[in-house]
């Protein structure tokens, strides 16, 4: 990894947690945070727990973020949460276009880019998720699928790209226990990096997500174009998540 790109390890709690469970997890993260050096750490929590995350993490080295954002500023959009609302809770990060949102809610790549724009407009850093299914990969279409997903984001221009993060999550490796090999992950990251470089944003961070664990984190982080991880299930266990964040390539 280029040393000018600070590693970022981010947890995605998905639809997990309760006030009691979160207290235990957040306390565990805070207790061990000091051993993570040179890596940014953050957790993306369900909307109802943003206040709890803020209260626990403010002033600590751990940031917090949301898992989705509305493209709208305000109005008759029941169930939507705006960028300004997230900013009220001190949110720094927001996931945009996670594969589960694309698959279950039909989010298009253009909508994902619009969400990134909404986040940037409120001073939040969007984490734009891209990735192919197993069928896409088996058909040799991984790069074309990712190029399609990236296109509206790349069109935002170098200034916007410098303020966001890309997360490559092969859909076939999310929550399955399967992980892309370091070489497989690096190949796609290099493809993404080349696209970013062509748009004047070669230093934009690109994270890997998909069954990341402490056991495979160091080998993934050793790859030159992998700048960190977006962690799912392992982010729900403080010790495991901290071990991932502390992994040194």
The single residue of 98, 114, 132, 240 carrying the catalytic annotation is: 98
Radius of gyration of the chain (CA): 17
98 is catalytic: yes
What pLDDT sits at residue 173? 79
Integer Cα distance of 31 and 25 in angstroms: 10
CA–CA–CA angle 67, 128, 180 (5° rounding)? 100
**238-246 vs 214-221: helix axis angle to the nearest 10?**
20
- Residue 25 CB contacts under 8 Å (≥ 6 apart), including other chains: 17, 236, 237, 238
Q: Which residue ranges in the chain fall short of pLDDT 50?
A: 3
CATH class of residue range 7-246? alpha beta
Beta-bridge partners for 167? 129, 207
What pLDDT sits at residue 172? 82
Which 3-state string (H, E, C) describes 111-179?
HHHHHHHHHHHCCCEEEEEECCCHHHHHCCCHHHHHHHHHHHHHCCCHHHHCCCEEEECCHHHCCCCCC
The pLDDT tens digits for 122-157 are 999 999 999 999 889 889 999 999 999 999 999 999
Domains of the chain, residue spans: 7-246
What is the number of helices (H) and of strands (E) in the chain? 11, 8
The pLDDT tens digits for 154-192 are 999 999 999 999 999 999 877 777 778 999 999 999 999
Integer Cα distance of 161 and 159 in angstroms: 5
Overall size of the chain counted in residues = 249
What pLDDT sits at residue 179? 73
The single residue of 114, 132, 169, 240 carrying the catalytic annotation is: 169
Tokens matching residue 103? 């698959």
């Amino acid at each position: 990894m280029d040393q000018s790109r600070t590693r970022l390890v981010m947890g995605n709690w998905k639809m997990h947690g309760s006030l009691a469970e979160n207290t235990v997890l957040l306390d565990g993260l805070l207790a061990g945070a000091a051993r993570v050096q040179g890596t940014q750490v953050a957790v993306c929590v369900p909307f109802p727990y943003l206040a709890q995350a803020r209260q626990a993490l403010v002033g600590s080295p751990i940031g917090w973020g949301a898992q989705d954002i509305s493209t709208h500023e305000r109005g008759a959009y029941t169930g939507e949460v705006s960028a300004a609302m997230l900013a009220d809770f001190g949110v720094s990060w927001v996931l945009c276009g996670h594969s589960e949102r694309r698959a279950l809610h039909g989010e298009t790549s253009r909508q994902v880019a619009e969400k990134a724009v909404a986040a940037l407009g409120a001073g939040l850093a969007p984490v734009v998720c891209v990735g192919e299914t197993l069928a896409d990969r088996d058909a040799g279409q991984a790069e074309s699928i990712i190029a399609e997903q990236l296109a509206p984001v790349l069109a935002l221009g170098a200034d916007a790209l410098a303020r966001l993060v890309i997360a490559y999550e092969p859909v076939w490796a999310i929550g399955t226990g399967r992980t892309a090999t370091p070489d497989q992950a690096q190949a796609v990251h290099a493809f993404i990096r080349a696209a970013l470089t062509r748009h004047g944003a070669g230093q934009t961070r690109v994270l890997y997500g998909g069954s990341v664990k402490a056991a495979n984190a160091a080998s993934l982080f050793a790859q030159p174009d992998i700048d960190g991880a977006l962690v799912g299930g392992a982010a729900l266990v403080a010790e495991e998540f901290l071990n991932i964040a502390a992994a040194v390539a």
